[in-house]
Chains A and B, each alone.
Chain A
Amino acid sequence: MAARKDGDAVALERRVLDRLMPMNLLVRPSGHITHAGPTLSRLFPEEELVGRRFLEVFEMGRQHHGICTFSDLRALREARLQLRLRAFPDLRLKGVMVALDGAECTLINLSFGLSIIKAVRRFGLSNDDFAPTDLVIEMLYLVEANTAVMEEFRGLSARLQQARSRAEEQALRDPLTGLHNRRAMDAVLADLVARGKRFGLMHLDLDHFKAVNDTLGHAAGDHVLQVTAGILRSETRKGDTVARVGGDEFVLIFEDLVDPEKLSAIAERIVARLGEPIDYAGQLCRISGSIGFTTSCFYDRPDLDRMLSDVDLALYESKGRGRARATMVTRELLETAAPPGRMRPPRQGRSGAPGPEA
């Protein structure tokens, strides 16, 4: 069959149609298919498409409401089509219909649209089944290449995530304040003991911090912690260790500094500075600091667990006496303050007691 454009000697031979549009159909006004392109024919190896009715093979998509017969469709003369194959309802096809001038047949050209991957797989389609100008091969290539690349990225993300959590576990810094964390503190203390070094140990807890957090919000709380970190840094020497070991708890370690008076002076300065109101976005945050401290020289052999629980006790002594103060660990303190069973008095201190003679 040939469609001849009036006047022009342009003939649409089937050979030309099939080469340019391997999924073309020619349909008679009665709705019967009179020619099917080679790729469409491949979908129905068992039965001949020619001779069947178009609407028997294809179902019009929902967007074509009101089109019940092929004559309805043909009357449009030109239309974009959304179709389903009745034999394969999961394949959605798209296409275009054009009435041919001077010929009674209607030309329909189809494509697989987004069903392309399913279709290629199901019907084993190859390069030859598509027009050379069709970008379908490039699209399949892209889908495949992108899948491979995405896979690589997924793997990379998973490995980075893993590395990140490992790094976080091993991190020695508190991200908010930049101070050391508890892990770092443990390492520094263990190292000091292993090297037989003398050191001062201080435990600071902020007073009224929770109130700031509750009334002014977490951002204000974070700001207070950062200001506190700045104060602690400026009141200590470069080689000292300042660690944030809990929400509003800090531990300070002073290598080679065991003079109780000097430690006491540092603690007093810290307490004084923490007593100054901290401005946060025009609002004043009022906190203070309570401190307990000790030195390794108070003990025969420094036992870290005990030193930490002793400074803890001194800290609570500071809290108990009204906050905003520093308390040094002494034998008296341990004996009076320790709840029975919680603390054992230190064995042999340097002078037979924990704490200086004074």
Chain B
Amino acid sequence: MHGLINRALQCFMRDTYGEAVWEEVASHAGLGLRDFEAMICYPDELTFRALDSACTLLNKPRDVLLEDLGTYLVSHENLEPVRRILRFGGDSFHEFLHSLDELPDRVRLAVPDLRLPQIEVREHSPGALTLRCFGACPGFGHVLVGILQAMADDYGTLALLEHKGAGNGEEVVSALLLDADFARGRSFSLTPDRL
């Protein structure tokens, strides 16, 4: 699994539950390391072992932990670049959802060896969408639900997001847009302050 994904998991644990909990997870999982490097790839099993250990030690179901991870990726101040990069997807949450099918390509432009699951977006009726995720990242759908929930908040849109199940190497997430102007949302300018 790409280091960025592992690093995200580590930072989520550290920023949410504290350094000590992460260290406990790392040693319980027998990772043989204390810090993941974002730009190095690791064997997949390390990621899953870390995830399992985190669930065991925190006594949380995997789905819930993954969803929390997704929310963290967008909403934590340490990860502002992730939020910004996602916001480039569109001017509204609706537009953003439709940009998700090009997310893997968009990410590859910046990090060529980071492979995200392919997402297929379909809008059945106005404001009712189904997102199908394909790829070798079991549980990604739950992370996506967390990401989408946080992005809806970011845009100020009221939306209902739900994981509809998995099977055949595919996960399905539904999105129901209820009110595009529910809240003010966070601001987004095309260039960050630090550039």
Interface residues, chain A, with chain B CB atoms under 8 Å away: 117, 120-121, 124-128, 137-138, 140-149, 152-153, 156, 159
Contacts and interface: CB of A to CB of B under 8 A. Distances in A.
Contacts of A153: 39
Contacts of B191: 117, 120-121, 140, 144
Contacts of A146: 110
Contacts of A143: 195
B189 A141 contact: no
B110 A140 contact: no
Interface in B105-124: 106, 109-111
B192 interface: yes
B190 A145 contact: no
A25 to B, nearest CB: 23
B27 to A, nearest CB: 20
Nearest to B35: A159
Interface stretch (B80-88, B142-150, B154-162, B176-184): B80-88
Nearest to B81: A148
A48 B71 CA distance: 46
Given A152-B39, A156-B37, A144 B192 contact: yes
B38 interface: yes
Contacts of A128: 91
A10 B110 CA distance: 41
Nearest to B188: A126
30 contacts: A117-B191, A120-B190, A120-B191, A121-B195, A126-B189, A127-B91, A128-B91, A137-B88, A138-B109, A140-B190, A140-B191, A141-B85, A141-B106, A143-B195, A144-B81, A144-B85, A144-B88, A145-B81, A145-B85, A145-B109, A145-B111, A147-B195, A148-B81, A148-B85, A149-B39, A152-B38, A156-B37, A156-B38, A156-B39, A159-B37
Interface residues of B, number: 18
A143 B109 CA distance: 10
B190 A126 contact: yes
Given A140-B88, A144-B191, 16 more contacts: A125-B190, A126-B91, A126-B189, A137-B88, A140-B191, A141-B88, A141-B109, A143-B195, A144-B84, A144-B192, A145-B110, A149-B39, A149-B110, A152-B38, A156-B37, A156-B38
A137 B190 CA distance: 8
Contacts of B111: 145, 149
